[in-house]
A and B are shown apart, each in its own frame.
Chain A
């Protein structure tokens, strides 16, 4: 210990400095109010200079006790709450819940309603991926793609407003069918949107996907190898970005998904290496094309009929339990529902895809730069509404 007096007149300012000067890791709170955490996620970073030594996500800032609420709601009343979990893909959430309850209660759904469900779910998938496309660019400093992505998303929201009345939270997919049949000319508008949307993908690729700066920021960053992805229970585009060919719509078809012809998009290492941020992004871009394919086929095949025919007036669910999983834009959304034959569910447990996807962050973060952590977090495409529920 050396006494260090820097000529202050007051001796109180004499400082004791350890000798030799020691460096220490720096603990940094990223969030909960941070634009790149997509909601209210707090990540505690231990950094050594610019390099992240460890990253620990802390969640719960958006906890709204959905699972407890569901125990006090009647079966159809749960649907508006389900919508609010993953608010970027409400239709897909409600579809999973409706399918689970229908399977438990043995309700057959009208054909037309099933096709309408697929159309809205796939449109919602496109809308969700467009938000990802926009915000991912935004995280990495590209502002223009955000505006372009939201322009096309707005058209999907307009379509949803016309069919369901809501722009973000729809309460459209009900147990036993859908809330409304499509209005006159709606299906033609959907086809018109598909015609408009498909050429836009090329625009996105020119603007962002193959931009050299964007590739340098994302390719090779946050590589999640295949085995790590499977071990952490990743699902959806995050898993497929690591080169695992697994899509519940193909591998465990629910509803009427086995009637459509589409490809499962897998990260192929066009740029960078398989499993990095760029490939996760690329899978989502390719998936938007596949979704338009499904929408086109569904509009072509949709039969006439009354979409509300099979909606029961009082939903009666026999005692029992079920685990049902569907593929949302974020991955495998599972509902574990227990019924005792009463008016309310006894338990609704949700296996949120974004929750599992986020869990891989502490494993891939060490050794990256803080700015790259933003890219990794963005490429996981988390929605905090679903993680905290």
Chain B
């Protein structure tokens, strides 16, 4: 009998202690944030979206190799000897036409491994997180600023160059037999 009432007393007493804790919380400022109306500024290291400053890209493909999930796809075409593609902001020569620089953010695992090997620091994560899309294909971001016509032209030129090189090689290969 005594045990019975002791149990009831303890249950009520400890619940009241807990209620006291919650009651005290009525008088402290709220910690929640009404998100769409209020926003906090995320720290600069936040990894929310990959961004490529394509003007600085030299087409070295180190980010592509570093990616564990292969979400970066790069196509490059070598510049001609007399062609000058300009310099990057930290003074590196750009030896490649970067005809394709696609990042599939739906595949990205946000590990940040691609940003560290970049020699010109042109690929980086930004704290911008509001890029939800209705279609998954919209998450495939294209960073290259070459138009399809330009790409086709460059590819044609590259194919011609390769053909010429192959012909020269074939000729060079013939010579010893001719002699």
Contact = CB atoms under 8 A, between A and B. Distances in A.
Scoring A163, A203, A212 by chain B CB atoms within 10 A of each residue's CB, the highest score goes to A212
24 contacts: A76-B113, A80-B68, A80-B113, A83-B111, A144-B18, A154-B31, A161-B42, A165-B43, A165-B46, A165-B47, A169-B110, A169-B111, A171-B112, A179-B112, A180-B45, A183-B43, A206-B17, A206-B18, A206-B21, A207-B21, A207-B22, A210-B14, A211-B17, A211-B18
Nearest to B12: A212
Assign chain A's interface to a size class.
20 to 34
A211 B21 contact: no
A165 B45 contact: yes
Contact of B15 (A81, A179, A213): A213
A144 B45 CA distance: 33
A164 interface: yes
B66 interface: yes
Nearest to A214: B14
A180 B43 CA distance: 14
Contacts of A171: 111-113
B14 A162 contact: no
B35 to A, nearest CB: 13
A51 interface: no
Contacts of A210: 14, 17
Interface string A109-145: 0000000000000000000000000000000000010
Contact of B18 (A151, A166, A207): A207
A208 interface: yes
Given A179-B112, A212-B11, 6 more contacts: A73-B68, A77-B113, A79-B111, A144-B22, A154-B31, A206-B20
A179 B110 CA distance: 14
Contacts of B10: 212
B106 interface: no
Contacts of B46: 161, 165
Interface of chain A: mostly helix, strand, loop or mixed: helix
Scoring A165, A171, A211 by chain B CB atoms within 10 A of each residue's CB, the highest score goes to A165
A164 B46 CA distance: 8
A384 to B, nearest CB: 19
A154 B13 CA distance: 31
Contacts of B18: 144, 206-208, 211
Contacts of B66: 77
Contacts of A163: 45
Contacts of A165: 43, 45-47, 112, 125
A203 B31 CA distance: 17
A163 B112 CA distance: 13
Contact of B109 (A80, A151, A162): A80
Interface residues of B, number: 26
Contacts of A161: 42-43, 45-46
Scoring A77, A180, A210 by chain B CB atoms within 10 A of each residue's CB, the highest score goes to A77
A359 B13 CA distance: 38
Contacts of A154: 31
A212 B10 CA distance: 6
A171 B46 CA distance: 12
A81 B67 CA distance: 12
A163 B113 CA distance: 15
A364 B96 CA distance: 65
B7 interface: yes
Given A76-B113, A165-B46, A169-B110, A81 B17 contact: no
Given A163-B45, A206-B20, A212-B10, A77 B68 contact: yes
Interface string A47-83: 0000000000000000000000000010011011101
Contact of A162 (B15, B20, B43, B47): B43
B24 to A, nearest CB: 9
Interface string A169-206: 10100000001100100000000000000000001001
A80 B69 CA distance: 10
A127 B7 CA distance: 34
A22 to B, nearest CB: 39
Nearest to A179: B112
Interface in B1-58: 7, 10-11, 13-15, 17-18, 20-22, 31, 42-43, 45-47
Interface string A14-44: 0000000000000000000000000000000
Nearest to A163: B45
A211 B43 contact: no
A183 B20 CA distance: 39
Contacts of B17: 206, 210-211
A370 B18 CA distance: 27
Contacts of A79: 111
Interface string A71-102: 00100110111010000000000000000000
